[in-house]
């Protein structure tokens, strides 16, 4: 399954929730390494870097995720809708 297919499935899922989401389209005008998806719910920001199963984030992508986490956001590498559901559940449950 391609990252695009996974990203589209995740976006469809997030749009069913109570928050707001957008796909980040990289460009030369944007900071490098920014995650693929931003989801905001109840004033909290969640960032998702989408990879194929067994795919790895680059060093720069991992650095950006760490920066976002240090700023208080949820920020993860994910590879499926279920992975997103699990991350949001664990965050909301305080795990």
> DSSP states of 52-74 as a string?
-TT----HHHHHHHHHHHHTT-E
Q: What is the pLDDT at residue 41?
A: 95
The domain spanning residue 33 has which CATH number? 3.40.1350.10
Distance CA 74, CA 91 (A): 7
User: Is the pLDDT assigned to residue 88 strictly greater than 70?
Assistant: yes
User: Is the pLDDT assigned to residue 95 strictly greater than 70?
Assistant: no
Domains of the chain: total: 1
Least confident of 5-14, 24-33, 36-45, 49-58: 24-33
Question: In this structure, what are the phi and psi dihedrals at residue 26, rounded to the nearest 5 degrees?
Answer: -65, 145
């Amino acid at each position: 399954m391609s990252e695009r297919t996974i990203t589209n499935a995740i976006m469809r899922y997030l749009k069913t929730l109570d928050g707001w989401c957008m796909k980040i389209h990289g460009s030369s005008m944007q900071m490098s390494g920014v995650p693929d998806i931003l989801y905001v719910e109840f004033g909290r920001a969640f960032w998702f870097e989408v990879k194929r199963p067994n795919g790895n984030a680059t060093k720069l992508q991992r650095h950006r995720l760490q920066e976002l986490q240090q700023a208080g956001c949820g920020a993860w590498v994910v590879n499926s809708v279920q992975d997103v559901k699990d991350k949001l559940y664990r965050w909301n449950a305080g795990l």
